[in-house]
């Protein structure tokens, strides 16, 4: 049956993953991961995002079977409890930041390795390797040695090697980090296409928010061994759970205001507002602040820096008091350092952080 | 014309360097050539005009063939032992870096730092009375393994340190390979250059080892270097020299063979 599937389009089973109370304390007592509960839906691409040391790689390695969770933690693939299984018996595909390709083998031998381990007959093996190399546009490199390939080609070989065995889950540990920017973009698109097409459950670890937004069905933002927020890229971007998430994803401005009896005072302006009375800290994206005239502006400040980005000009505006604000103006804007500007705030776009 | 251009371009610095290099080469090779030539000369004190002969080589092979064979036997047994002990030891040290591993590494180096005579004496004092060990060639083998093991471990460890062994193994494990398969298909082939370098070292050191062997040997377990010392001390210089010639003929092909192996493409695993 898998053969007929292969001929149409390579498609893999969508196995859900469940983590129950998975924590990790290293010898010596350092807590790498606070106990974590998470369900990853079958076929979903989930991205663990966070700065280094946040626990994202530890989580991935627990799913992979390269680390075991602290006592009491469980890892389930579908209905099967795999907690006690080492990685070689979990049937996962894994892609590493440093490729981990075998230098003693050719591209073909690398891709065939997992099939050999599974004792797939020679003819079947050769056919599946060839199909996978074609899928990854690696046909012409079949006989090459690994050291004769570029970084992008190596990572495509690593993907082919991980996928050819039809794993239950695909795990990617910062697969694009070692590549230069341009290659990173093109390979990211290729991975995106691949993950959508295969329908496999994929867990992707990165510290790059752009990658996370582009690839993730859902993103798990992590900090200091804890989950800060789980949500779709839109939720994470527009409704960050806290200041850390807001700052980590994209650019966020902070405004101080005072809420009193259904109004909010920011600078000299008063806006309609619902919320408890008192000082509030507000977050607003650069694209939700607009340049305005003196008459309809809410805040005024001086341009401290203007960076021309082509389609827009990014301004850093220093208000009379409070932290500097980042605002986007039209690309053709002639505003420059020292100019006085007025900004309009849409109260519906303001986020109050607890 | 072309020759002239060539020599014009090469200044006096080039010729000075060439001269110096040749001088150093001569300094190293002339004594060896002289020695080998002595082994082929009918009468060394008369000189080359006494004629060339294979008589001395013949005599060496007749009298000392036992030592030559024993040396080879010990060298290959020593290689097998250091491979079986040293490669896993290097692997264990590479996979578990830490203070304990460094300590073990230092301990392994001890036999190199301590004079061979001292090691040999310690072996005799400690194990000399165990069964027939004292009169067995295995006693010399033990000494050689002790002395050569650090070289094997160091050579393999150096290569293991230069590749990301942990990640390579994790990659193989993710594809379903259990430990034995990972070790034989990924770890060993990628440490091949270190294993070959170590093997080369071990063979050469074992065949030429004198310090330890001189104390450990018995009249029935003489190795080539011990026999060589014997012949120089008690026989004609021509015989000693012929013996040296045999030693060269034995060691050089194996050196070239192993170098060739190290250069040849990928392993056929």
pLDDT of residue B4: 53
How far is C-alpha B47 from the geometric centre of its chain's CA atoms?
33
The CATH number given to whatever domain includes residue A270 is: 2.40.50.140
Q: Can you read off the two tokens belonging to residue A264?
A: 């909010």
Residue to test with chain B: of A117, A125, A177, most B Cβ within 10 A: A117
Q: 166-185 in A: which are within 8 Å (CB) of B?
A: 171
Contact B176 A88 (CB under 8 A): yes
Angle of helix B192-208 versus helix B55-95 axis, rounded to 10: 140
Contact B190 A102 (CB under 8 A): yes
Closest-CA residue to A108 (of A133, A78, A134, A80): A133
> Chain B residue closest to A64 (CA)?
B174
* Rounded distance between C-alpha atoms, residue B248 and residue A69, angstroms: 60
Last residue of a domain, one of A248, A264, A294: A248
**Closest by Cβ to A100, choosing from B167, B192, B267:** B167
| Contact assessment for residue A219 and residue A232, using Cβ atoms and an 8 Å cutoff | yes
> Chain A residue closest to B165 (CA)?
A100
* Rounded distance between C-alpha atoms, residue B168 and residue A96, angstroms: 10
Examine the domain organization and report whether A294 and A244 are in the same domain.
no
| Contact assessment for residue A187 and residue A156, using Cβ atoms and an 8 Å cutoff | yes
Examine the domain organization and report whether A171 and A297 are in the same domain.
no
- Cα–Cα distances (Å) from A48 to A91, A262, B93, in that order, read 21, 39, 33
Examine the domain organization and report whether A59 and A132 are in the same domain.
yes
Chain B positions in Cβ-Cβ contact with residue A114 (cut-off 8 Å)? 175-176
**Closest by Cβ to B173, choosing from A88, A93, A98:** A88
Last residue of a domain, one of A197, A228, A248: A248
Tens of pLDDT, residue by residue over A32-73, are 899 999 999 999 999 999 998 899 999 999 999 999 999 999
Examine the domain organization and report whether A113 and A173 are in the same domain.
yes
Q: What percentage of chain A reaches a pLDDT higher than 70?
A: 97
Contact A104 B163 (CB under 8 A): no
Tally helices (H) and strands (E) across chain B.
Answer: 13, 0
- Cα–Cα distances (Å) from A138 to A125, A156, A184, A325, B19, in that order, read 16, 8, 17, 47, 53
Examine the domain organization and report whether A148 and A279 are in the same domain.
no
Examine the domain organization and report whether A216 and A267 are in the same domain.
no
The CATH number given to whatever domain includes residue A154 is: 3.40.50.300
Tens of pLDDT, residue by residue over B88-141, are 999 999 888 788 888 888 888 887 888 888 888 888 888 877 878 888 888 889
Examine the domain organization and report whether A280 and A172 are in the same domain.
no
Examine the domain organization and report whether A50 and A76 are in the same domain.
yes
Report all structural domains of chain B as residue ranges with CATH numbers, in order of start: 50-263 (1.10.3720.10)
Examine the domain organization and report whether A116 and A239 are in the same domain.
yes
Last residue of a domain, one of A248, A279, A314: A248
Chain B positions in Cβ-Cβ contact with residue A66 (cut-off 8 Å)? 170, 173
Tens of pLDDT, residue by residue over A235-258, are 999 889 888 898 888 888 888 888
> Chain B residue closest to A100 (CA)?
B168
Q: How do strand A312-319 and strand A278-284 relate by DSSP bridges? A: unpaired
Examine the domain organization and report whether A224 and A147 are in the same domain.
yes
Q: For each of chain A's 354 residues, which pLDDT tens digit applies?
A: 344 334 445 677 789 999 999 999 988 888 889 999 999 999 999 999 999 889 999 999 999 999 999 999 999 998 899 999 999 999 999 999 999 999 999 999 999 999 999 999 999 999 999 999 998 889 999 999 999 998 889 999 999 999 999 999 999 999 998 888 888 888 898 899 888 888 899 999 999 998 999 999 999 999 999 999 999 999 999 889 888 898 888 888 888 888 888 888 887 778 888 878 888 888 888 888 888 888 888 888 899 999 888 888 899 999 887 888 999 888 788 888 888 999 888 888 888 876
Chain A positions in Cβ-Cβ contact with residue B170 (cut-off 8 Å)? 66, 87, 94, 96, 100
Chain A positions in Cβ-Cβ contact with residue B190 (cut-off 8 Å)? 102-104
Strand order in the sheet with A340-345: A289-292, A340-345, A299-308, A312-319, A325-330
- The boundaries of the domain holding residue A259 are 253-352
Q: What's the total number of domains in chain A?
A: 2
| Contact assessment for residue A92 and residue A66, using Cβ atoms and an 8 Å cutoff | no
């Amino acid at each position: 049956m898998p053969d007929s599937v292969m001929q149409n389009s390579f498609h893999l089973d969508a196995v859900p993953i469940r983590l129950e109370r998975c924590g990790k304390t290293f010898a010596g007592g350092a807590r790498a991961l606070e106990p974590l509960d998470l369900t990853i839906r079958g076929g979903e691409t989930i991205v663990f995002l966070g700065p280094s040391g946040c626990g994202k790689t530890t989580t991935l390695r627990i799913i992979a079977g390269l680390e075991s969770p602290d006592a009491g933690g469980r890892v389930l693939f579908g209905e099967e409890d795999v907690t006690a299984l080492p990685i070689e018996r979990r049937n996962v595909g894994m892609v590493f930041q440093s490729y981990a390709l075998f230098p003693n083998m050719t591209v073909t031998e690398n891709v065939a390795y997992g099939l050999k381990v599974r004792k797939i007959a020679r003819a079947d093996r050769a056919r599946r390797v060839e199909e996978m190399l074609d899928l990854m546009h690696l046909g012409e490199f079949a006989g090459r040695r690994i050291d004769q390939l570029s970084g992008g080609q190596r990572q495509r070989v690593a993907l082919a090697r991980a996928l050819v065995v039809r794993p239950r889950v695909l795990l990617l540990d910062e697969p694009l980090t070692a590549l230069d920017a341009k290659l990173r973009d093109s390979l990211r698109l290729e991975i995106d296409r691949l993950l959508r097409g295969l329908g496999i459950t994929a867990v992707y670890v990165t510290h790059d928010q752009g990658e996370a937004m582009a690839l993730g069905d859902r993103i798990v933002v992590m900090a200091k061994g804890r989950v800060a927020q789980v949500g779709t890229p839109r939720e994470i971007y527009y409704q960050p759970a806290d200041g850390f998430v807001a700052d980590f994803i994209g650019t966020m401005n902070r405004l101080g205001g005072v809420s009193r009896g259904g109004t909010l005072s920011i600078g000299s302006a008063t806006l309609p507002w619902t919320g408890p009375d008192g000082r509030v800290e507000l977050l607003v994206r650069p694209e939700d602040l607009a340049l305005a005239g003196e008459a309809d502006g809410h805040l005024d400040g001086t341009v401290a820096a203007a960076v021309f980005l082509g389609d827009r000009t990014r301004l850093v505006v220093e208000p009379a008091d409070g932290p500097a604000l980042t605002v986007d103006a039209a690309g053709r804007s002639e505003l420059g350092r020292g100019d006085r500007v007025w900004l309009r705030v849409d109260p519906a776009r303001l986020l109050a952080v607890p | 014309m072309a020759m002239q251009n060539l020599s014009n371009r090469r200044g006096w610095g080039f010729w000075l360097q060439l001269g110096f290099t040749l001088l150093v080469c001569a300094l190293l090779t002339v004594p060896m050539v002289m020695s080998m030539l002595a082994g082929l000369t009918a009468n060394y004190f008369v000189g080359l005009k006494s004629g060339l002969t294979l008589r001395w080589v013949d005599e060496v092979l007749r009298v000392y063939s036992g030592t030559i064979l024993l040396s080879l036997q010990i060298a290959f047994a020593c290689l097998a032992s250091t491979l079986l002990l040293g490669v896993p030891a290097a692997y264990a040290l590479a996979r578990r870096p830490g203070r304990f591993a460094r300590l073990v590494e230092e301990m392994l180096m001890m036999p190199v730092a301590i004079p061979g005579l001292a090691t040999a004496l310690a072996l005799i004092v400690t194990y000399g009375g165990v069964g027939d060990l004292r009169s067995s060639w295995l006693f010399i083998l033990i000494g050689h393994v002790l002395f050569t093991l650090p070289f094997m471990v160091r050579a393999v460890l150096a290569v293991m340190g230069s590749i990301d062994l942990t990640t390579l193994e994790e990659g193989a494990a993710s594809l379903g390979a259990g430990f034995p398969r990972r070790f034989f298909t990924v770890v060993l082939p990628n440490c091949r250059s270190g294993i070959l370098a170590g093997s080369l070292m071990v063979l050469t050191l074992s065949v030429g080892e004198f310090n330890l062997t001189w104390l450990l040997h018995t009249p029935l377990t003489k190795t080539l270097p011990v026999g060589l010392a014997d012949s120089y001390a008690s026989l004609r210089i021509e015989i000693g020299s012929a013996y040296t010639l045999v030693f060269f003929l034995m060691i050089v092909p194996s050196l070239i063979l192993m170098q060739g192996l190290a250069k040849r493409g990928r392993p056929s695993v």
